[in-house]
Amino acid sequence: MAVQPNTAPEAGSPQMAEASRLEQAAAIKADANAAFKDKHYAVAQQLYSKALEADPTSAVLWGNRAFAAIRLEEFGGAIADASKALELDPKYAKGFYRRGDASYALGHFKDAVRDFRAAIRLAPGDPDLRRKLAEAEREVKKEAFERALAVPDEPPVSDEIVLEEITVDSSYQGPRMEAGESGQLQVSLEFVQGMLAAFKEEQLIHRRYAFEIILQAQAILKSLPSLVDIHVPPGGELTVCGDTHGQFFDLLRIFDLNGLPSPSNPYLFNGDFVDRGSWSVEIILTLLAFKCLYPSHFHLTRGNHEAKSMNTIYGFVGEVKAKYSSQMADVFRETFCWLPLGYVINHKVLVVHGGPPVACNATLDEVRQLDRNREPPEAGPMCEMLWNDPQEAAGMTPNKRGVGVAFGPDVAKAWLEGQGLQMVVRSHEVKDEGYEVAHDGYTVTIFSAPNYCDQMGNKGAFIRFDSDCSPSFTQFSAAPHPNKRPMAYASGAFANMG
């Protein structure tokens, strides 16, 4: 009988090395998939990256890492990874799917439509894809319709509100505003406390009072510059909080731990008050009410989610319409455009939602002069202050979010020293411990939405600054809340995207 030749690869051969490399990539991929399933998205992303080192030609690995990036809100990175997957395999439907999701999240609806259509051609039986395509097409048509109807110098919707015509009838059982000496209804501490109690029981205040709060706060915000200076006197302190994202019951936890705002207990909330969490209306009415009550001791920074595009996608517009009206959603939008872009504490600390405007190298005086009454642009100092992120490496790179830049320790130090500042405090990113001190102390991140979106498992935190601007951190865990899922008011097909 003839002896069959041995075709198995020899030990140490290129074929054996290739097989070992692919086995290694597959094992790491399995671990990454398990981490993703457990909602440990940053760990999954790191593992997919490690697997790609072993097998950089796998379209699936690039697509999976894109999916993890979407969960981490790194939409620019997701687009890059999905594009690489499609370069390796032009018939990989999930590559188009992931890139479409990321484009939609950035408000690039035409790009999303293109990719969802391509994905459907490859996977025609996927109903989720068809729903997402329909919603992306609807947004494209809506944008075109709004452009066609746009009137130059159209009066603000806020000017159309006649408060005296909104009557509060006797059947209303919630807290009531009382008129002051001028005859105007006033936001009092008693009213705010009653409002918080009502919100805790998932009861709304009357729309007359909601409009009073929004419009009174808007008038105060209009009087402020784009960059506001705050003075903390000797013996005083200022509490700085990060993203709250509609997690109202966690806002109450902050007040339980640190006390209600007052002239002797001032606060600064650093943007991203709304979206994702399903009590965004309660959050923003609370914050604006305190702004009315203590205009010189309660401060609000604009975040990237105080913007029409984000609010349309991530639930706030849907929530306002469900709880009040589309007219109120428009008035909120106009009010957000008057939020300051940043604060400087005792000439030492810049507080800004995203990061300092390092790519355009704008000065503090230039920021003070910015015309902020607009939707955020896609470049320039206003964009950077809402969107920038720190990175460990030196220099600057395009931000993984797809907007703004990522800046290294050298960049942070040079910009801050050039402005005579010691530190930048920013938010904008989930941190496991609720905060992070980076860049040798030049950059601090504070995030105040614990167990973000009921799935991240992170702690929340806030900072207290004394007059010397020495930071003291307080961490806290998520508070129990009624059984309502995050993104409950977001567009259906995209409600669980990010």
User: Is 404 found in the same domain as 260?
Assistant: yes
Confidence class for position 39, pLDDT limits 50, 70, 90:
confident
Q: What is the mean pLDDT of residues 379-389?
A: 98
7-21, 161-175, 253-267, 398-412: least confident range: 7-21
User: Is 469 found in the same domain as 361?
Assistant: yes
Residue 309 forms part of a structural domain:
yes
Question: Token pair for residue 130?
Answer: 């068809």
User: Is 331 found in the same domain as 234?
Assistant: yes
Looking at the chain, the number of H-run helices and the number of E-run strands are 17, 16
pLDDT of residue 13: 63
Tell which residue, 144, 74, 77, 158, has the closest CA to residue 335. 158
Residue 272 forms part of a structural domain:
yes
- What is the number of residues in the chain? 498
Q: What is the mean pLDDT of residues 141-155?
A: 81
Question: One of 206, 305, 428, 439 is an active-site residue; which one?
Answer: 305
* pLDDT over threshold 70, residue 493: no
User: Is 257 found in the same domain as 126?
Assistant: no
User: Is 343 found in the same domain as 221?
Assistant: yes
User: Is 90 found in the same domain as 232?
Assistant: no
Residue 92 forms part of a structural domain:
yes
Q: What is the mean pLDDT of residues 147-171?
A: 88
Most confident of 12-16, 152-156, 167-171: 167-171
Catalytic site includes residue 305: yes
User: Cα angle at 192 between 173 and 446, to 5 degrees?
Assistant: 135
pLDDT of residue 9: 61
User: Is 337 found in the same domain as 478?
Assistant: yes
Within 10 angstroms of residue 194's Cβ, the number of other Cβ atoms is 16
pLDDT, averaged across the chain: 94
Residue at which a domain ends, from 149, 168, 184:
149
User: Is 217 found in the same domain as 327?
Assistant: yes
Residue 171 forms part of a structural domain:
no
Q: Residue 58 is part of which domain span?
A: 17-149
* pLDDT over threshold 70, residue 11: no
Residue 37 forms part of a structural domain:
yes
Q: What is the mean pLDDT of residues 371-398?
A: 97
What is the DSSP track for 48-79? Answer: HHHHHHH-TT-HHHHHHHHHHHHHTT-HHHHH
Residue 170 forms part of a structural domain:
no
pLDDT exceeding 70 applies to what percent of the chain? 95
pTM score above 0.75: yes
pLDDT of residue 485: 92
- CB-based burial, 331-348: b 16+ in 10 Å, e otherwise: bbbbbbbbbbbbbbbbeb
Contacts of 29 (CB under 8 A, 6+ apart): 47, 48, 51, 60, 61, 64
Q: What is the mean pLDDT of residues 299-310?
A: 96
User: Is 64 found in the same domain as 145?
Assistant: yes
User: Is 358 found in the same domain as 243?
Assistant: yes
- Residue-wise pLDDT for 201-232, tens only, equals 999 999 999 999 999 999 999 999 999 999 99
User: Is 425 found in the same domain as 285?
Assistant: yes
Q: What is the CATH number of the domain that holds 304?
A: 3.60.21.10
- Residue-wise pLDDT for 336-345, tens only, equals 999 999 999 9
* pLDDT over threshold 90, residue 183: no
pLDDT of residue 121: 97
pLDDT of residue 448: 98
How many independent structural domains does the chain possess?
2
Q: What is the CATH number of the domain that holds 95?
A: 1.25.40.10
User: Is 258 found in the same domain as 327?
Assistant: yes
Contacts of 187 (CB under 8 A, 6+ apart): 177, 212, 213, 216, 289, 292, 293
* pLDDT over threshold 80, residue 494: no
Residue at which a domain ends, from 100, 128, 149:
149
Residue 392 forms part of a structural domain:
yes
pLDDT of residue 8: 56
pLDDT exceeding 90 applies to what percent of the chain? 88
Instruction: Decide: 237 and 465 in contact? Cβ < 8 Å.
Output: yes
Residue 195 forms part of a structural domain:
no
pLDDT of residue 498: 46
Residue at which a domain ends, from 149, 179, 194:
149
